[in-house]
Structure 1
Amino acid sequence: MDLTDRVVVVTGGAGGIGAALGRRLVAEGAAAVVLADTAADRVRAVADGIGPTAHAVVVDAADADQVSALVADVERQYGRIDLFCANAGVATGRGLDAPDADWERAWRVNVLAHVYAARAVLPGMLARGEGYLLHTCSAAGVLTAVGDAPYTATKHAALGFAEWLSITYRDRGIRVSALCPQGVDTPMLADGLAAGHLGARVIAASGAVLTAEQVADVTVASLAEERFLILPHPEVADYARRRVEDPDGWQAALRRMVVRLGPGG
């Protein structure tokens, strides 16, 4: 996809990967980048810092009505949406002890937000015969987020949904990419480390933490190639092969890591 003169929406745009994507998309020549987030002050500050082609809106990506209104407003103002980046996400750092409220929030933000975005934006894209969906699914959707059961389950669901969209709509002009980074230096990782979450400590111990800007660079390059699976950490492909070829050995290695880095590790 050539990003020049494109109209783009990015959810989760107040920081981390979303903000980095916003900056990079504008640098690539996008006509307008609409950054959506629930954190009003932060998303407005990001948009103001990027410049006049970036615009901030306060929207909950996990609310179907708000997403529908966002899409309608952008289409009314700019005539179309060329690329919708469903980027909002939440982690819990919990296992079976996670309360139902955490599971519900993870499901709504990590999965249903992608469904709501697709429902709202696809009619216009299909009518034009072209459009692009970018879903941030995480390497947890390809592998496993040790220490976080809701995150693992919902990110697997998000990746499955993105694949379904690609299979169903690509021949009708719709491109879909699933962005699956592993460790990224974002507030989500920082908050997890501060809380002592096992998954965050595993990521930090791996020594393979990228900046959000590096992830944005890889993402833009992959959008140009219209690749379905975007892996800013190329080693994730090797991990995935090992996971499929030797699931028992893969799980054993993760269990050893959990023992080493678990409470008191």
Structure 2
Amino acid sequence: MTSGFDGRSVIVTGAGSGIGRAAAVAFAAQGARVVVADLNAEGAAETVGTITGAGGTAVAVTGDLSDQAVVDGLVATAVERFGGVDVLVNNAGIMDRMSAAGDTSDAEWERVIRVNLTAPFLLTRAVLPHMLAAGRGAIVNTASEAGLRGSAAGAAYTSSKHGLIGLTKSLAVMYRTQGIRTNAIAPGGTVTGIVLDLEEGAHGPATLGGYFGNAGRASEPEEQAAAIVFLASDAASNINGAILPVDNGWAAV
């Protein structure tokens, strides 16, 4: 077996910055042909430029992945340009406002769940026929430390990431006899440039602040990307349904 990705088709969502960009670049460095998906067209173009500038192959697709039409177009691009989908990385996500349930608006709840949980479901459902036809495939989801505990984010984000972990395990069981593996990473704090929109003095942020002392150092996006690439690789061929904390031991505290 090899851990290389020569000629394989890889979709990475949220690849215009942060963990997604680092993962897209890492896959391309191992020979993958990468579909760079992001809501931000400028960021996606920058990632593609980085990959092609290093001699790799990549194409950008932009749009809101909570829109079924965007999802269908993304998968069609991967199939038409690169012949199929060998790896799907559901990385795109948004933070909530660290709101407690009693302070969470309908709009905050619905948007966070739509982007963080429904979009990965839609995209996974769309790529499954292609992976099933090929008899193989690897899916890696970016969950969160908030998917392992209740003290790392607000009600909406925490629920979305717990849900994504549940989806990961369901996929692992349902498709393990058909050559498809599904795993997830659970990042702790990571240097991604995300700015939190917090309501000063609100119950949620005030309560959660006391728990962040256990988080340890923030990781670099490349550290998260290395775990993603490993889980998608042949080196992880018997790893399925795993949730891998990449958090400097925060989950162990």
Same fold, judged at TM 0.5 (above): yes
The 5-angstrom pairing of residues 102-251 of structure 1 reads 102-188=108-194, 191-192=195-196, 197=205, 203=212, 206-223=215-232, 224-226=235-237, 227=239, 228-233=242-247, 235-239=249-253
More helix by share: 1
For 1:47, the equivalent position in structure 2 comes to 48
Higher normalized contact order (CA 8 Å, seq sep 6+, divided by chain length): 2
CA distance in 2, matches of 1:45, 1:186: 15
**Gap regions ≥5 residues in structure 2:** none
- Root-mean-square deviation (CA, aligned residues, Å) is 2.2
CA distance in 2, matches of 1:7, 1:145: 37
* CA gap 1:128/1:49 in 2 versus in 1, 3 angstroms: same
TM-score (norm 1): 0.82
CA distance in 1, matches of 2:16, 2:73: 19
- Identical counterparts, % of pairs: 33
* CA gap 1:78/1:48 in 2 versus in 1, 3 angstroms: same
TM-score (norm 2): 0.85
Which amino acid in 1 is paired with 2:21?
A: A
Partner deviation per Cα, 1:84-110 (whole Å, 9 max, x = no partner):
111111111222212100100111011
Which deviates more from structure 2 when the two are superposed, residues 153-162 or residues 63-72? 63-72
Alpha-carbon deviation of 1:222?
A: 3.5
Alpha-carbon deviation of 1:193?
A: 8.2
For 1:37, the equivalent position in structure 2 comes to 38
Decide whether the 8 Å contact of 1:222 with 1:230 is kept in 2.
no
CA distance in 2, matches of 1:141, 1:170: 23
Alpha-carbon deviation of 1:192?
A: 2.1
The 5-angstrom pairing of residues 82-97 of structure 1 reads 82-92=86-96, 93-95=98-100, 96-97=102-103
* CA gap 1:185/1:125 in 2 versus in 1, 3 angstroms: same
The number of aligned residues is: 236
